[in-house]
Amino acid sequence: MAIRFGMAIPQVFLDGHADMPLVAQTLQRAEHLGYESAWVQDQIIGDTALMESVSLLCYAAAVTERIKLGVSVIVFPTRNAVQLAKSVSTLDHLSGGRAILGIGLGPPATADNFYKAFGIEYQQRLRRFTEGLEVMRSLWENQAASFDGEFYGLNNTRMEPKPLQTPLPVWFGGQHPDAIKRAAKQANGYMGAGPTPTWQFEQHVQQLHAVMDESGRNRSECPVSKRVYLALDDNAEKAKARLDEFFEARYPWQIKDDPNFVANICCWGSAEQVATGLREVSDAGAEMIVLNPLWNYVEQYEKLAEEVLPLVKG
């Protein structure tokens, strides 16, 4: 299967001011260049200035015509499943049937205060995830939904309009073996996280495919993708320095714990150097790669399409 490419919508503005003309220009240029999909990340609370994912995708729907629009991934237990089902169904209509919902379980027990900010307990998160997914799909796919659970109760409940896509694709993220098993059995796609080294991503793909093969599920039912941070510049040293600067501001705790964090997750340098890194991700099992430059978005997406992607496809 030929490798496919998505693009990351400009979403992180470290100065705290969203540049919406840049977002529109980048999306429209990427769509013209033939990128298959456009993606956002999800973060509600935190120090980084990052716009809410579904709202931003609704804006993206208004300024594009063909490119698919996805989020990778929403920390699903922190969201109300009924409200999210409505929001994503609306996005699917606004975009003419181009929405992709990515969901994940969220951070581990050490982040208990994170969950309390949303009014839930850490110990509830898996049960909320499981119930919420069933509730969303029931609302989308049934004329009227009934559900009697721990957190949700539906009694012949209707939600209109239904998504244009049947089914609306729900992709899973996560690196824990249990998360990968859930994806293998229930997801319409699997998204490898950007901060995951390629060698580790390859292990996750192998685990995913092993569970699918054991359960008799066709691998085509759960395609695999990965976000890759990159910097295209013939001056590789300059590109790496700018990556270091960005990630020290975006993920300071990761840099503190792992001095090689940027080198392990990013591609940078000339077209040939970046293509080599992307081929490694493809060889590790990615069927679609979300390309994520961090500055000069339009220029980099143009150069990637013209100089790098032909080398990767070749």
**CB–CB of 112/122 below 8 Å?**
yes
Entry pTM = 0.95
Q: What are phi and psi of 61, to 5 degrees?
A: -60, -35
pLDDT band at 109 (very low <50, low <70, confident <90, very high): low
Strand partners of residue 170:
101
By CB atoms closer than 10 A (0-12, 13-18, 19+), residue 270 is middle
Q: What are phi and psi of 51, to 5 degrees?
A: -75, 150
pLDDT band at 46 (very low <50, low <70, confident <90, very high): confident
Cα separations in angstroms, 222 against 92, 100, 138, 285: 20, 13, 20, 12
**CB–CB of 235/241 below 8 Å?**
no
Q: Where are the beta strands (DSSP E) in the chain?
A: 4-8, 37-40, 68-75, 99-104, 145-148, 153-157, 170-173, 189-192, 224-232, 266-269, 288-292
Q: What is the domain-level CATH number for residue 72?
A: 3.20.20.30
| Mean pLDDT, residues 9-37 taken together | 96
DSSP state of 151: S
Please tell me which residue, 55 or 111, carries the higher pLDDT value: 55
Residue 144 is encoded by which pair of tokens? 């009227």
- Say yes or no to pLDDT of 32 above 70: yes
By CB atoms closer than 10 A (0-12, 13-18, 19+), residue 88 is buried
Q: Is the peptide bond before 73 cis (omega within 30 degrees of 0)?
A: yes
Q: Please report how the helices 81-94 and 53-63 are oriented relative to each other, as an axis angle in degrees rounded to 10.
A: 10
pLDDT band at 256 (very low <50, low <70, confident <90, very high): confident
Percent residues over pLDDT 90 in the chain: 88
- Which range marks the domain in which residue 149 is found? 4-313
Query: What pLDDT, on a 0 to 100 scale, did the predictor assign at position 47?
Result: 83
DSSP state of 284: T
Percent residues over pLDDT 70 in the chain: 98
pLDDT in tens, 127-174: 999 999 999 999 999 999 999 999 999 999 999 999 999 999 999 999
Rounded CA gap, 68 and 189, in Å?
14
Query: What pLDDT, on a 0 to 100 scale, did the predictor assign at position 250?
Result: 80
- Say yes or no to pLDDT of 223 above 70: yes
Residue 177 is encoded by which pair of tokens? 């073996």
Query: What pLDDT, on a 0 to 100 scale, did the predictor assign at position 111?
Result: 63
Residue 165 is encoded by which pair of tokens? 């896509």
Query: What pLDDT, on a 0 to 100 scale, did the predictor assign at position 14?
Result: 83
Residue partners of 10: CB distance under 8 A and separation at least 6: 19, 22, 23, 26, 297
Tell me what the pLDDT averaged over the chain comes to: 95
- Say yes or no to pLDDT of 110 above 80: no
Instruction: Please tell me the total count of domains within the chain.
Output: 1
